[in-house]
Amino acid sequence: MVTNPRTAIVLGALLAVTSTTAIAQSGADIYKTKCARCHGDDGMATTPVAKSMQIRSVKAPEMMKASDAQLFAFIKQAYKNYGLTDAQVKDVVAHIRKLQK
């Protein structure tokens, strides 16, 4: 049991930071868990699911030309059932831009 109030405050702050860090995911992590099954780890859409559903590669000309706002809107609409926050979608867009290079 922690009896020193300062120790309790520091311990509580450390636990809060650790919990937040464990929950936070990068755009790459989100892409890997939510998108890669269909789009592939590299975004090239060569998976069986991508082929059967005619999913485009992130390097397709129309995807390369799309603005971040257009990609954001598309992802929000297409993946609305995944419950991604706006911040998570922005992180996924940033990851897609890395895949496109």
Domain boundaries, the chain: 25-100
Contact 35, 28 (CB under 8 A): no
User: What confidence tens digit (pLDDT) does each residue in 76-95 have?
Assistant: 998 888 889 999 999 999 99
User: What confidence tens digit (pLDDT) does each residue in 3-59 have?
Assistant: 555 644 544 544 444 334 445 789 999 999 999 999 999 999 999 999 999 999 999
Other beta carbons less than 10 A from residue 86's beta carbon: 9
- 35: DSSP letter: T
Q: How far apart are CA 100 and CA 28, in angstroms?
A: 13
- 47: DSSP letter: S
Query: In the numeric block, which tokens belong to residue 51?
Result: 């082929």
Query: Which residues, at least 6 apart from 62, have a Cβ–Cβ distance to it below 8 Å?
Result: 56
